[in-house]
Structure 1
Amino acid sequence: MFGAEKGSADKLDGRKLAIGIVQARFNESITNALADACRQELAALGVDAKSITHVKVPGALEVASALQAMAESDKYDALIALGCIIRGETYHFELVANESGAAVTRLALDYQLPIANAILTTENLVQAQARQDEKGRDAARVAVEMANLLNELA
């Protein structure tokens, strides 16, 4: 249909890509670690630091607004959402987790733009800390691979 599958090295070649990162500041120690791991992995995949736009917003619910503005600019091959929602004693956790996740997915579909969702939703700080580096790296790889795939399919 589309010919032979590209090699994994091609799928993770970020040299020609422009990437936007939106980071929530709430639970900033976790989101800073997510962002550091993400940026390091993007660099390892060949994404030029000048081709990365990194903005911060107050919390997970505000991530979607910045992602939408980036998507509407038509400057990016992929976007990355970074945040951390830790369960508390009220229903607010479910609201923020559900709404932020749904918004990221809706934007990706509406704009036909890959958005790697690394907004952690955990029961406690220990779980968040255990996932911060791996999920930051994963988000970078997902963004690069999906940008290359959608560029190939276009």
Structure 2
Amino acid sequence: MFGADKGNVATTDNRMNGKRLKIGIVQARFNASVTDALAEACKAELLALGVSDKDIDHITVPGALEVAVALQAMAEKSNYDALIALGCIIRGETYHFELVANESGAAVTRVGLDYQLPIANAILTTENMDQAVARQVDKGRDAARVAVEMANLLESI
């Protein structure tokens, strides 16, 4: 049971301890005003959780569909404890929204499963820009917390 004290890193007291963790962030530049805010909130939360600035690698890619390829390249390096996907897909008038949202989400999940590496998926999928802006800070922070917690959990298993 998660949180049970078995003398491991992922006890209730230490599951949010980012010290000693190496985290990679992949940020889509499309809808940059939102993704920049996601990245800023994410990095600030990682630092607050104890992750050292030197242990955070942050790269950017053109859009949400390119995020998974960069995550895969980072995962292949095998020196990350967790990865974070940041992006913003806003519904338009065509089916393109569904394609990008579904395919990017599936690809991010596949990379995590293939490499047994936690990936916090904070690629927002919203109906409009107002919804994206309303979520950008909280979801950036949430992604940092998920990455740290899951890295500690997997280390303890």
TM-score for both structures, normalised by structure 1 = 0.96
Output the CA distance in 2 between the equivalents of 1:7 and 1:116: 20
After superposition, the CA RMSD in angstroms is 1.3
Q: Are residues 1:132 and 2:136 paired?
A: yes
1:90-105 to structure 2, matched below 5 A, reads: 90-105=94-109
Aligned residue runs from structure 1 range 20-99, under 5 A = 20-99=24-103
Hey, what's the Cα distance between the residues in 2 that align with 1:8 and 1:24? Answer: 33
* SS of equivalent to 2:14: helix
| Structure-1 separation of matches of 2:122 and 2:150 | 15
Amino acid corresponding to residue 42 of structure 2 in structure 1: C
Identity of aligned residues (%): 73
- Structure with bigger helix share is 1
CA distance in 2, matches of 1:24, 1:99: 14
Distance between the aligned counterparts of 2:26 and 2:12, measured in 1?
26
- Aligned AA for 1:4? D
Distance of 1:101 and 1:30 partners within structure 2: 18
- Which residue of the partner structure matches residue 19 of structure 2? 15
Runs of 4+ in 1 over 6 A off after TM superposition: none
Give the Cα separation in 2 of the matches to 1:4 and 1:73: 31
Deviation (angstroms), 1:4: 2.4
The structural deviation recorded for 1:75 is 1.2
Give TM-score, length-normalised by structure 2: 0.94
Give 1:14's aligned amino acid: G
Deviation at 1:9, TM superposition (A): 3.4
Q: Corresponding residue for 2:117?
A: 113
CA distance in structure 2 between the partners assigned to 1:45 and 1:104 by the alignment: 24
1:7: how far off? 4.1
